[in-house]
A and B are shown apart, each in its own frame.
Chain A
Amino acid sequence: MSSYRIEGNTGAWEIVVGLEVHAQVISHAKLFSGASAEYGGEPNTHVSLVDAGFPGMLPVVNRECVAQAVRTGLGLNAEIHLMSRFDRKNYFYADLPQGYQISQFAHPIVGEGKVEIELADGTTRHIGVTRLHLEQDAGKSMHDQDPLRSFIDLNRAGVALMEIVSEPDIRSPEEAGAYLRKLRQILRYLGTCDGNMEEGSMRADVNVSVRKAGEAYRTRCEIKNVNSIRYVMQAIEIEAQRQIEIWEAGGTVDQETRLFDHVRGETRSLRSKEDAHDYRYFPDPDLLPLVIERDWVEDLRAALPELPEAKRTRLEQTYGISRYESGVLTVEQGIADFFEQVARDADARLAVNWMLGDFFGALNRTGATIETSPVSAEGLRELLGLISDSTINGKIAKEVLEDMFESGESASAIVERKGLRQVTDTGAIESEIRTILQTHADKLAEYKSGKDKLFGFFVGQTMKAMKGKANPAAVNDLLKKLLSE
């Protein structure tokens, strides 16, 4: 259990947090219409008559969206409900064309599951998932386009969302952040949501309450629509602080919906429980209960990609890398894939060191991602191959990698163009060393009189004379031999 506590005037307070994550399903078409679910587009260009709620239009569930929800449920180790149901959530708003949202209120498609999170101190915890259900997104109201009128864009109306509800198991902002990152990682691995919080394809409602250790839950407040992991963490801390102040002043926290203002660093009341909508949920009579086959679920399970935890373990076992290294390499599926292409049938240790070191460094410097990297996995693999077969040494390789990022040329082309091929010809190295020993007769004498440290000086002089291209092992061997003559 987390030891995170907020110190108040009356002692330490524990925080209790549950998250409702709205994740936009990756699919070509919307949940109940054939219109494109693609992000962006001119306003009201991805809208069918069904989405616009025209008279007599009927929803037909999109099988691919259901498959995505099942895949996500499987990825969260959750129970898949073979029978679920769509309900109508009734309320009036200008960007809700039908006057109701179709959602799964009473019978969600996915039941209880869990997510394992890892904290900075290396400990792990399980956060329970209560349920996952499918629902439609609403459209977008734009109030800032005209002084007197509001505009409505229905491109998003009807796009499939998965609402993933956690148990109130989260006990610190750090845990909330770790949960969201892990959830996003799993969704991205599964290809069921792109997890892009800036574009709004993943957003969180944050339920926060505080209590003294050992107490039952106190009243919670829900902070709506927080759109970054950092803001979620900030909002929890700020909201917990606010509630503690109320309790400690002898007041009572009211159950209400609040908004997080990251500019002012505060949460503000949106509506109280008394003003809460009566959504008049009832089963949507336009849709039959959603019944899926066990075999279909098993087919989806069999086709699931390798998930982060499994991949980590396998990478550790296959390539002999550390827990830390496997964690970094599996943050994104693309990185892990890249690594495996580089390390395949090659020196895995060399591959890890280069990826985590110079390669990521170069990516950061150039602002590229693994997907947009100017150096492909094959390209990096070729470079490391040149090290392994002693064509170039490590120092030269760093220079070559930088050139690869700039010029886009292959490692071997750069080595040829710049004449960086390593000198392994012992005769050439030996003659260079003999010249150096003559030039630095004084240093040679000092060495012979016992100043062993000067060995490094001779290595450096040799490499310098060879313009860095000498094979370091050959230089060492020859120096040892000639110095002892």
Chain B
Amino acid sequence: MHDLTLAAARKALRSRSLSSVELTDHFLSAIEKHDGQINAYITVTPEPARKAARAADALLAEGDAPALCGLPLGVKDLFCTSGTKTTAASNILRDFVPPYESTVTSNLLADGAIFLGKTNLDEFAMGSTNMTSAFGPVTNPWRRAGSDAKLVPGGSSGGSAAAVAAGLALGTTGTDTGGSIRQPAAYCGITGVKPTYGRCSRYGTIAFASSLDQAGPMARTLEDCAILLESMAGFDPRDSTSVDRPVPRYEDALERGAKGLRVGIPREYRTDTLPEEIAALWDEGIAWLRDAGAEIVDVSLPHTKYGLPTYYIAALAEASSNLARYDGVRFGARVEADTLDELYEATRHAGFGEEVRRRILMGTYVLSSGYYDAYYLRAQKVRTLIQRDFLSAFETVDVLLTPTAPSAAFAHEERPTDPVQIYLNDIFTVPASMAGVPALSLPAGLDRSGLPLGLQLIGRYFEEETLFAAGRVMEKAAGFTHRPALHAGAVA
């Protein structure tokens, strides 16, 4: 059961060879047994999950079960879930129980999904290591060959990625602001999709950077992601930035193949510091697509090098404003004080971790009078140029293929002390976020030490289907069946 994909589990449930209660119990006990070593979950909700599973079994028995009926998932603890603690991995929301449900999780629930619990993340989704969580770091289920060193799962959706990799959920929701789905998916050897900005509603998802945040699925396979995305996506009148266009059946696109597809290889991504084995894997990915009949085209995205600095200006500016509401006045943690200003200071100092505080300060700085033009405004202009890079590349190619991250997962202790070094992890994922175009990461191979590496496909606005089709070709060619050291099947 631990090796089931979401698609296989769906089939088993529908053929009644497996019940949702059995499946849910399996995952709950796997979490109980193994999550102590991984810390993928902040909150586990066994009772509501079992109750929902029993209801799902009843529906399945009747034969008119909705799309995700009875399938146990993990939800990144950034999506508000009605009646279930939603923390954003922050002390300031440690005990926050929202009285409302995010649109994405509402959609999943409406399709019959079972929520096992809320998965760990970097505090307020700010990080690429999942080390900034107020609920402790997540440990990547993978180990380097011959080493016990604990590795980071990537971030910010580190708990979601680790849960899937370790067999603690069939699939999970993630959010991606600058790579927060794709990079942890790559580090944990799973698949993650960041759809086009506006494809999934942001209503009820705790905001990091509103113009970049986008929810997406994380799962073992592209097929699983396609099934989940179809449920998560859709127009929502409560989110002004969600887009009103029909949601396709992504599953139908999976076997379209890559024949005649024009695949762009952005030369700016081939940096001097790119590790040789990542470059080699990238070449391998190119070969897979070429062998499937795709045409490989060299393209240029000339503003790529400005992606990272402008992303950190735009995202942190928005974050500094988005996080102003955590002030201890209406909800969440409060540290009492004599004056209002002291209450703000004490509450926010105690409530936010170091990285969040750093980002709020940087975001405040770039919006400040006298600096706005030099930082925020200029970053917005560069963002437009980055968008144009993609638009012009997509005039000649259908998708872009790049590595997902410049390295494999690193150890907790190896985490750089210089925040900028950590920010560099996002170098290949940030440009697609800045442009708002869809992108996915799929596991393509292992490095010399046995850690998974991911490749990224980037597509045109709302052409997730092309990504699924090209990705499926690579998925088949890669034949990635490796499982991490720590997973529900491997650990006795």
Contact = CB atoms under 8 A, between A and B. Distances in A.
Interface of A: 49, 52-61, 88, 90, 92-94, 97-100, 150, 152, 278, 280-282, 285-288
Interface in B61-92: 79-80, 86, 88
Interface in B221-245: 237-241
A448 B327 CA distance: 98
Given A90-B324, A92-B324, A285 B211 contact: yes
B171 to A, nearest CB: 21
A52 B240 CA distance: 18
Given A52-B330, A98-B324, A59 B96 contact: no
Contacts of B323: 99
Nearest to A60: B240
B367 interface: yes
Contacts of A88: 321
A300 to B, nearest CB: 22
A94 to B, nearest CB: 5
Given A54-B331, A93-B340, 14 more contacts: A49-B99, A54-B325, A55-B96, A55-B331, A56-B100, A57-B204, A92-B324, A98-B324, A100-B321, A280-B372, A282-B321, A282-B376, A285-B210, A286-B207
B318 A55 contact: no
Nearest to A279: B369
A150 B367 CA distance: 31
B384 interface: no
A285 B212 CA distance: 9
A99 B367 contact: no
Given A60-B237, A278-B369, A55 B327 contact: no
Main secondary structure of the interface of B (DSSP, over half): loop
A55 B324 contact: no
In the A-B complex, the 4 residue pairs with the smallest Cβ-Cβ separation, listed nearest first, are A99-B324, A280-B367, A285-B211, A285-B210
B28 interface: no
Nearest to B100: A49
B166 interface: no
Interface string B358-370: 0000001001110
Interface centre among A53, A281, A282 (most CB of B within 10 A): A282
Size range of the chain B interface in the assembly: 35 or more
A288 B197 CA distance: 13
A377 B284 CA distance: 89
A55 B206 contact: yes
A55 B211 CA distance: 16
Contacts of A53: 325, 330
B297 interface: no
A56 B202 contact: yes
B324 A286 contact: no
B330 A97 contact: yes
A54 B98 contact: yes
Given A94-B340, A278-B368, A282-B321, A58 B329 contact: no
Contacts of A100: 321, 324
A54 B330 CA distance: 8
B367 A97 contact: no
Nearest to B329: A94
Interface string B189-204: 0000000000000111
28 contacts: A49-B100, A54-B98, A54-B325, A54-B331, A55-B88, A55-B93, A55-B207, A56-B80, A56-B102, A56-B204, A56-B207, A59-B240, A60-B237, A90-B324, A94-B327, A97-B325, A98-B325, A99-B321, A99-B324, A99-B327, A100-B321, A280-B320, A280-B372, A281-B372, A282-B376, A285-B318, A287-B240, A288-B241
A152 B329 CA distance: 9
Contacts of A282: 317-318, 321, 367, 372, 376
A56 B324 contact: no
B202 A58 contact: yes
B399 to A, nearest CB: 27
B437 interface: no
Contacts of B206: 55-56
A292 to B, nearest CB: 14
A251 B237 CA distance: 57
A92 B169 CA distance: 41
Interface in B307-328: 317-318, 320-321, 323-327
B100 A92 contact: no
B333 to A, nearest CB: 13
A287 B238 CA distance: 11
A29 to B, nearest CB: 14
Contacts of A90: 320-321, 324, 367
Contact of A286 (B98, B210, B330): B210
A272 B207 CA distance: 35
